[in-house]
């Protein structure tokens, strides 16, 4: 297994069907990224996007967004998914460790994430990696 930070100039070598398959496994709905839209996603300045590859096939994705808040800078981990045929092999853990090392290197104060309680596996996974549940309310305004 190989981990790489994905950059816009690597998108032409990526199988976008595999990107979209992973997003479907994460979100449960179709997101049909094209090379153009995925390049636009990757071009965000505050994004570190890791990809996991087995035999050159993309089998995992995880994003770290750097959030410059008024009081300090933190990280937000999003979009963590491992292809269902490759789970329980340490790939998720390896992607998370890579992003956490990146966050430490950037001197971020915290790394935050959210995970719906119905995602039982993911909640076990994050707790196993040392993430502690925070007592806060999560709000969203639908636009
Ligand atoms: C959550 C997810 C990313 C984990 O990826 P993974 O590569 O299978 O995880 P790892 O093999 O690195 O597991 C690391 C540890 O997490 C825990 N864990 C992972 N899967 C688990 C499961 N099914 N049941 C219990 N614990 C589990 C274990 O402690 C495991 O360590 P161990 O194998 O030494 O016991 C993967 O299950 C996934 O893609 N789920 C669907 C998408 C999703 O829900 N993403 C999170 C959105 S918030």
> Residue 17 has which token pair?
């069907």
Distance CA 20, CA 14 (A): 11
Q: What is the 143 CA–ligand 1 centroid distance (Å)?
A: 32
Is 54 within a domain? yes
Q: What is the 106 CA–ligand 1 centroid distance (Å)?
A: 26
Q: Is the CB of 124 under 6 A from ligand 1?
A: yes
CATH number, domain with residue 111: 3.40.630.30
Is 114 within a domain? yes
Q: What is the pLDDT of residue 8?
A: 97
Question: In the chain, pLDDT over 90 holds for what percent of residues?
Answer: 100
Q: Is the CB of 121 under 6 A from ligand 1?
A: yes
For residue 89, name the pLDDT band (cuts at 50, 70, 90): very high
Is 29 within a domain? yes
**Tokens 């979209």 correspond to what residue?**
20
What value does the mean pLDDT take over residues 8-37?
Answer: 97
Pocket test for ligand 1, best of 59, 92, 99 (most atoms within 8 A of CB): 92
The structure's pTM equals 0.98
Domain that holds residue 9: 2-128
Count up the domains in the chain and report the number. 1
Span 45-55, pLDDT tens digits: 999 999 999 99
Q: What is the pLDDT of residue 100?
A: 98
How high does pLDDT run on average in the chain?
Answer: 98
Q: Which of 76, 15, 7 is nearest to 43 (CA)?
A: 7
Span 104-133, pLDDT tens digits: 999 999 999 999 999 999 999 999 999 999
CB 102 within 8 A of CB 48: yes
Is 61 within a domain? yes
Q: How many helices (H) and strands (E) does the chain have?
A: 4, 5
Three-class SS state of 22: helix
Q: What is the 98 CA–ligand 1 centroid distance (Å)?
A: 16
Atom 16, ligand 1: which residue's CA is nearest?
125
Is 136 within a domain? no
Q: Is the CB of 84 under 6 A from ligand 1?
A: no
Q: Is the CB of 89 under 6 A from ligand 1?
A: yes
Distance CA 91, CA 40 (A): 26
């Amino acid at each position: 297994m190989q981990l790489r930070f994905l950059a816009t100039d690597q998108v032409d070598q990526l199988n976008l069907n595999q990107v979209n398959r992973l997003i479907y496994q994460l979100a449960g709905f179709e997101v049909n990224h094209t090379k153009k839209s995925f390049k636009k996603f990757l071009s965000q300045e505050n994004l570190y996007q890791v990809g996991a590859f087995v035999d050159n096939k993309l089998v995992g994705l995880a994003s770290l967004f750097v959030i410059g808040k008024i009081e300090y800078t933190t990280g937000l981990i999003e979009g963590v998914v491992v292809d269902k045929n490759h789970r329980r092999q340490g790939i998720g853990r390896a992607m998370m460790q890579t992003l956490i090392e990146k966050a430490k290197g950037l001197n971020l104060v915290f790394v935050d994430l959210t995970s719906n309680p119905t995602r039982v596996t993911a909640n076990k996974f994050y707790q196993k990696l040392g993430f502690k549940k925070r007592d806060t309310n999560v709000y969203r305004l639908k636009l």
